[in-house]
Amino acid sequence: MKVHNFNAGPSILPNEVLYKASKALIDFEGSGMSILEIGHRTPLFQAVLDEAKDLVRELMQLDDDFEVLYLHGGASTQFMQIPMNLLENDGTASYIDTGVWSNKAIKEAKLYGFVDIAASSKESSYNHIPKQFNISPQSSYLHITTNNTIYGTQWQKIPETTVPLIADMSSDILSRTMDFNKFSLIYAGAQKNMGAAGTTLVAVRKSILGKVSRKIPTILDYRNHIENGSMLNTPPVFAIYISMLTLRWLKDQGGAAAMEKQNEKKAALLYSEIDQNPLFRGTVQKEDRSRMNVSFIMDKPDLEEEFLKFCKKEDIVGIKGHRLVGGFRASLYNALPYESVEVLVEAMKYFSLKKA
């Protein structure tokens, strides 16, 4: 390992994935061409796309009503594509506001219909997940963000609802066991737990589509992507290949159940140090702490830059907090080894002994 990479995304990838991808950049599957050069409608790439989709189905144990798509545009495109496909002009969708990304989704949904903010933790600077909310049975759907990268909160219990449940899982997909069939649509940028930046996973139930009266642009209609097998336009070939390799690796590790055990162990080690170290303090209510993005601050803010420089010297990168909240953020995605967390904890202990 070159450095201990705690970046929030694009994030660390398994060494095995990087090695295989580097070989494919020169010669993909003995074709004499780079993965960057092969035609997207050739059997070579079709095999990659099929395997990636099959791995998603297997790892998430999706039922037959789901279609798996690899699309362009990131989660930000999904913020508007979802209401465009699912929300009538005079209809209502429910959203739970837990931070910047859910706020962006709410803003886009308001362009297509009415939005009911079923609950929000904004008044407390998003330091917890709301526990009380009422979802109207007339809502077209309920939207949540399962993990909030900026603030370090995570839904530990998925809400029960009678309306279709939609989730942005960009930063914690396949990091823990979950009944994915509880959802009607799941979306996730690949660049945290599922591969490299450049493609977005959408798992959508076919039964919820085709119910709005508005005309939908061809490229934004999920049904067209389903009909064309994620190849309505040229897909992001390399990003899908990296996702396929990452999903292969994840399966070989034991799937989401194995990841959950490792992620719980990593998070427990870091939170334990934060709670007992006199120099550092957590920012999130304990019951809602994220296992993916650990946010914390110093009681002596004037030491923050010095600590970041010390970490860089120790080959620890990516722990500076998001620009909106400051402090520190350590992202513990699936590919981050436990040993990296140990190194960070030792750095915190050493720095505290010198400065506290």
d(CA 202, CA 245): 18
> Hey, which bits of 111-207 come out as E strands?
114-120, 142-145, 147-148, 153-154, 165-168, 185-189, 200-205
Q: What is the 3-state secondary structure (H, E, C) of 22-41?
A: HHHHHCCCCCCCCCCCCCCC
155 noted as active-site residue: no
Token pair in block for residue 269: 């080690």
Task: Identify residue 18 by its one-letter amino acid code.
Answer: L
Q: How many CB atoms lie within 10 A of CB 260?
A: 18
d(CA 11, CA 28): 24
Instruction: Yes or no: say if 83 and 108 are a contact pair by the CB < 8 Å rule.
Output: yes
d(CA 142, CA 139): 7
Token pair in block for residue 347: 């750095």
- CA 236-198-68 angle, 5° bins: 65
Token pair in block for residue 295: 């946010």
Instruction: Given the residues 97, 168, 172, 221, select the one marked as catalytic.
Output: 168
d(CA 25, CA 33): 8
221 noted as active-site residue: no
Instruction: Given the residues 53, 192, 266, 320, select the one marked as catalytic.
Output: 192
DSSP classification of residue 303:
G
Instruction: Given the residues 101, 155, 221, 288, select the one marked as catalytic.
Output: 101
Report H helices in 228-314.
Answer: 237-253, 255-276, 304-313
Tell me which residue has tokens 């035609």: 39
Catalytic center residues = 101, 168, 192
